[in-house]
């Protein structure tokens, strides 16, 4: 009898556990980071939708609903309205229902919904535990990993929309983030989280006036609003460069809500810019340790601590923090490229390339990732090409020996008129100011400018690989390169006529670039460029414009000069070709010496005169053919020619 009772009790416990397990399975949630179950469903027109084909989408929303339940449709209709108003946004939503085909058709006709509405004929709702509670919303990120999971309407729908807005902010889709926030606030003016998202979206757009107004409004809404509003205002004033205001507000937030983390990032950035590095480190540490933080702020706090460690050469520690940032925010491309740069600085180019490729998978158009990946691949190729590596190593040793002996590589020539190839080299820019969220600006800038200038054909830029290896061989750091004489010596050894150098000052409002071109023969400075590059600016466009300015300086200050070799009919051959930077379309003037006047034992010469013009129509390596456009007299061999700068068609 006793055994039977024990046995019955055991079955009872097993039954209870089974029931709990069943309830957990039916009402459980998809865990963050879990790969979404694959499926294939059809819409009313019979078109198939395969989830596995969407793995490269940055974000998509699976919305399970019932067409007979208005509360379960509410969030879907809100997303539909937003997508309709912002057609240029990449909002991918699949609506999935167990309702009948007839009812679903009526729903689509009534609402005009444009998202794919899929009929669940394969028990997909069970896979996503979306049968008992509707709506069920699953937000998926890169690689179809689950980011967020919501069940229920009403307040849960409101929470879901705010979370989607936060995700869009992480993706830097600021317009959409603001639009979703406005939609939530319109229905519930007391939703502080939604207002806060709008403020940070404006801040990311550098619309500081709007951000300040939003955060001031938030700060008036109770205790939570005061904390979030003042925290946001501290970030705004930091961006404005008003450090005292930012630090004061951060202090007030600390007193009101000691567990808030982001204010310590704001304080750390401000202190770092004031060159109080140890105090900045302490603030970054607090930012990492504390728990109170908004989802779109989490990755930044780990990144800034990682940037600090990287700036002091603690690359292993930096990577650990970058990994945490990336794990928290799958869209945080800054942490991904920053991680690659730590490997690069350790000479681990294969691992660096892997990080850069991960960044490009997130955003194929990211200039930073693309340029850094190209550089890493070039270094890997060099290491694998044994013969080329041996040649580079030998050249580096020769150049290093010349540098130490202070010997130049200038080529002597009897022809002082004909132009030599215009060779330019960039040396590392000094980096000053705050701790930029993204590392590698100097490297990216120099690489991109080199590519643009080389593509023009007019300028040849010394390979960055060669410079890096030479600096390594000479053990010259950025502080030594800041001395003009060191930079000049380096340029002369590399046979460069021009050196590009300067500084990058990281300010809250953006990066201040100061670029100087220095003539290695005369030490003159033919170009000084100062410009501020805003955080939201297109780096590609900014560097393309800078490339045009450099080319203009080269052409106007160093016009190509040469001689006519021979004249045949209306065409002349010049002793300038691809090797000197000649390109088709370049126009030349034929130069005649000006009048000479003898006065008190001195010869006074007037400016040279133009005897006519010609335009280059074909280019060979060492010479070119030019069509004669006009001539004041017949041209002949040995006539001097000079590039006509004002006629250059900027490419």
Domain count for the chain, please give it.
3
pLDDT at residue 281 greater than cutoff 50: yes
- Residue 79 in any domain: the answer is no
Give rounded-to-5 percent helix, strand, coil for the chain.
50, 20, 30
Token pair in block for residue 486: 């060191």
The 10 Å Cβ neighbour count of residue 618 is: 14
- For residue 121 the two structure tokens come to 């004929």
Q: How would DSSP label each residue in 273-306?
A: HTT-HHHHHHHHHHHHH--B--HHHHHHHHHHHH
- Considering the domain architecture, whether residues 537 and 569 belong to the same structural domain is answered as no
List the structure tokens of 616.
Answer: 């280059």
pLDDT tier at 604, thresholds 50, 70, 90: low
Q: How confident is the model at residue 26 (pLDDT cuts 50, 70, 90)?
A: very low
- Note whether 500 and 605 are same-domain residues: no
Confidence of residue 105 (pLDDT cuts 50, 70, 90): very high
Residue 394, burial from CB neighbour count under 10 angstroms (0-12, 13-18, 19+): exposed
For residue 400, what pLDDT is reported? 81
Residues 438 and 569 in one domain: no
Pair 531, 404 in one domain? yes
Q: Is 63 helix (H, G, I), strand (E, B) or coil?
A: strand
**Residue at a domain's end among 557, 588, 612:** 557
Please tell me whether residues 412 and 516 are part of one structural domain.
yes
Number of Cβ atoms within 10 Å of the Cβ of 263: 29
DSSP 573-603: EES--GGGT--TT-EEEEEE---EEEETTEE
Q: What is the dihedral of CA 233, 238, 241, 242, to 10 degrees?
A: 50
> How many residues comprise the chain?
651
- Residue 469's CB is within 10 A of a number of other CB atoms, namely 21
152 part of a folded domain: no
Residue with tokens 């001395």: 483
Higher pLDDT, 424 or 5: 424
Instruction: Out of 435-449, 470-484, 582-596, pick the least confident.
Output: 470-484
Tell me, what DSSP letter sits at residue 243?
H
286: pLDDT strictly greater than 90:
yes
* pTM, rounded to two decimals: 0.84
Share of the chain above pLDDT 90, in %: 69
Q: How far apart are CA 426 and CA 443, in angstroms?
A: 10
What is the end-to-end Cα distance of the chain in Å, rounded?
A: 98
Whether the CB-CB separation of 280 and 435 falls below 8 Å is answered with: yes
Please state whether the peptide bond connecting residue 135 to the residue before it is cis, i.e. omega within 30 degrees of 0: yes
Specify the DSSP element, H or E, that contains 402.
Answer: helix 386-404
pLDDT band at 403 (very low <50, low <70, confident <90, very high): confident
pLDDT tens digits along 204-235:
999 999 999 999 999 999 999 999 999 999 99
Q: Can you give the pLDDT at residue 279?
A: 96
Q: Which residues pair with 531 in a beta bridge?
A: 513
Structure tokens given for 417: 């008129």
DSSP 483: S
The backbone torsions φ and ψ at residue 260, rounded to the nearest 5 degrees and listed phi first, read -70, 135
Note the maximum CA span of the chain.
139
Question: 544 and 423 in one domain?
Answer: yes
Per-residue confidence band for 19, with pLDDT thresholds at 50, 70 and 90:
very low
Rg of the chain on CA atoms, in Å? 33
Query: Does some domain include residue 366?
Result: no
Residues whose CB falls within 8 Å of the CB of residue 27, separated by 6 or more in sequence, listed in order = 129, 132, 133, 151
Q: Which helix (H) or strand (E) holds 166?
A: helix 155-170
Give 17's pLDDT tier (boundaries 50, 70, 90).
very low
Following CA atoms 95, 98, 103, 104 in sequence, which dihedral angle do they give, to the nearest 10 degrees? 20
Are 584 and 495 members of one domain? no
How is residue 558 written in tokens?
A: 């160093």
What counts of helices (H) and strands (E) characterise the chain? 23, 21
The mean pLDDT of 29-36, rounded to a whole number, is 87
Q: What is the pLDDT of residues 49-88, one digit of tens each?
A: 999 999 989 999 999 999 999 999 999 999 999 988 887 7
Q: How many angstroms separate the CA atoms of 294 and 193, rounded?
A: 9
Please indicate, yes or no, whether residues 538 and 435 belong to a single structural domain of this protein: yes
Name the token pair of 442: 């100097």
The residues, any chain, with a CB within 8 Å of residue 651's CB and separated by 6 or more, are 456, 551
Instruction: Note whether 473 and 568 are same-domain residues.
Output: no
Confidence of residue 1 (pLDDT cuts 50, 70, 90): very low
In this prediction, residues 557-579 reach a mean pLDDT of 95
Whole-number pLDDT of residue 485: 78
pLDDT, tens only, 549-564: 999 999 999 999 999 9
Q: Long-range pairs for 339-343 at CB < 8 Å and ≥24 separation?
A: 340/372, 340/376, 341/310, 341/372, 341/439, 341/440, 341/443, 342/310, 342/315, 342/318, 343/315, 343/319
| Average pLDDT over all residues of the chain | 88
Quick one: pLDDT at residue 8? Answer: 46
Do strands 587-592 and 460-461 pair parallel, antiparallel, or not at all (unpaired)? unpaired
Note down the domain range covering 411.
Answer: 387-557
573 within some domain:
yes
Residue 546 placed within a domain: yes
Three-class SS state of 416 = coil
Residue 619 lies in a domain: yes
Q: What would the pLDDT profile of 478-519 be if each residue is shown by its tens digit?
A: 666 667 777 788 888 888 899 898 899 998 888 999 999 999
- Does pLDDT of 115 surpass 90? yes
Q: State the average pLDDT over residues 269-289.
A: 95
Same-domain check for residues 405 and 544: yes
Predicted confidence at residue 408, as pLDDT, reads: 54
In a domain, 456, yes or no: yes
3-state SS, residue 86? coil
What pLDDT band is residue 166 in, cutting at 50, 70 and 90?
very high
Could you report the per-residue pLDDT of 145-161, keeping only the tens digit for each? 999 999 999 999 999 99
Query: What per-residue confidence (pLDDT) applies to 133?
Result: 94
**pLDDT recorded at residue 62:** 97
Contact 280, 269 (CB under 8 A): yes
CA gap 23, 495 in Å, rounded:
77
**Is 451 a member of any domain?**
yes
- Please tell me the predicted confidence (pLDDT) of residue 412: 55
What's the confidence (pLDDT) of residue 535? 79
Helix axes 208-218, 222-240, angle to 10 degrees: 160
> Are 552 and 627 part of one and the same domain?
no
Domain boundary among 538, 557, 576: 557
488 and 422 both lie in a single domain: yes
For residue 642, is pLDDT > 90?
Answer: yes
Q: Which of 512, 530, 557 is the last residue of a domain?
A: 557
């Amino acid at each position: 009898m006793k055994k039977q009772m024990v046995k019955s009790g055991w079955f009872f416990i097993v039954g209870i556990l089974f029931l709990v397990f069943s309830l957990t399975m039916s009402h459980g949630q998809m865990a963050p980071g879990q790969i979404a179950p694959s499926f294939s469903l059809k819409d009313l027109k019979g078109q198939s939708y395969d989830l596995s084909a969407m793995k490269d989408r940055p974000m998509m929303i699976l919305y399970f609903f019932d067409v007979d339940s208005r509360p379960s449709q509410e969030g879907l209709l809100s997303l539909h309205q937003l997508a309709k108003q912002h057609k240029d946004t990449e909002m991918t939503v699949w609506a999935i229902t167990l309702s009948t085909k007839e009812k679903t058709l009526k729903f689509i006709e009534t609402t005009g919904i444009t998202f794919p509405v899929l009929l669940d004929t394969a028990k997909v709702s069970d896979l996503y535990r979306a049968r008992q509670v509707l709506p069920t919303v699953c937000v998926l990120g890169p690689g179809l990993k689950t980011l967020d999971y919501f069940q229920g309407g009403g307040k849960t729908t409101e929470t879901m929309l705010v979370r989607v807005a936060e995700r869009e902010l992480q993706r830097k889709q600021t317009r959409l983030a603001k639009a979703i926030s406005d939609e939530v606030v319109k229905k519930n003016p007391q939703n502080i989280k939604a207002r806060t998202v709008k403020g940070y979206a404006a801040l990311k757009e550098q619309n500081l006036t709007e951000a300040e107004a939003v955060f001031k409004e938030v700060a008036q809404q109770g205790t939570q609003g005061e904390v979030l509003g003042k925290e946001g205002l501290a970030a705004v004033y930091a961006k404005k460069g008003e450090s005292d205001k930012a630090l004061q507000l951060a202090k007030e937030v600390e007193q009101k809500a000691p567990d808030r983390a982001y204010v310590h990032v704001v304080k750390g950035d401000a202190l770092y810019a004031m060159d109080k590095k140890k105090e900045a480190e302490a603030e970054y540490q607090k930012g990492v340790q504390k728990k109170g933080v908004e989802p779109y702020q989490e990755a930044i706090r780990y990144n800034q601590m990682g940037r600090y460690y990287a700036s002091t050469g603690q690359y292993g520690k930096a990577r650990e923090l970058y990994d945490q940032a990336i794990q928290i925010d799958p869209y945080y491309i800054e942490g991904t490229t920053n991680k690659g740069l730590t490997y690069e600085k350790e000479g681990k180019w294969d691992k660096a390339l892997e990080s850069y490729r991960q960044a490009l998978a997130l955003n194929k158009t990211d200039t930073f990732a693309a340029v850094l990946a190209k550089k890493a691949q070039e270094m890997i190729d060099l290491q694998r090409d044994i013969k080329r590596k041996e040649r580079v190593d030998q050249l580096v040793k020769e150049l290093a020996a010349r540098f130490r002996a202070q010997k130049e590589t200038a080529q002597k020539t009897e022809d002082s008129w004909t132009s030599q190839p215009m060779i330019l080299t960039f040396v590392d820019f000094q980096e000053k100011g705050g701790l930029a969220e993204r590392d590698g600006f100097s490297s990216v800038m120099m690489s991109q400018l080199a590519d643009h200038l080389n593509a023009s054909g007019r300028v040849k830029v010394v390979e960055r690989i060669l410079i890096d290896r030479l600096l390594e061989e000479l053990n010259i750091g950025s502080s030594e390169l800041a001395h003009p004489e060191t930079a000049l010596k380096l340029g002369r050894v590399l046979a460069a006529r021009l050196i590009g150098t300067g500084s990058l000052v990281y300010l809250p409002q953006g990066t201040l670039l100061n670029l100087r071109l220095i003539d290695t023969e005369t030490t003159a400075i033919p170009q000084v460029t100062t410009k501020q590059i805003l955080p939201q600016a297109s780096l590609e466009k900014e560097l393309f414009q800078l490339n045009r300015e450099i080319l203009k300086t080269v052409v106007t200050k160093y016009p190509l000069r040469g001689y006519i070799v021979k004249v045949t009919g209306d065409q002349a051959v010049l002793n300038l070709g691809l090797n000197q930077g000649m390109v088709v379309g370049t126009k030349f003037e034929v130069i005649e010496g000006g009048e000479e006047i003898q006065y008190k034992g001195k010869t006074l010469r007037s400016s040279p005169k133009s005897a006519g013009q010609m335009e280059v129509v074909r280019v060979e390596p060492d010479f070119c053919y030019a069509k004669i456009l006009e001539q004041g007299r017949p041209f002949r061999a040995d006539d001097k020619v000079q590039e006509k700068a004002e006629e250059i068609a900027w490419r």
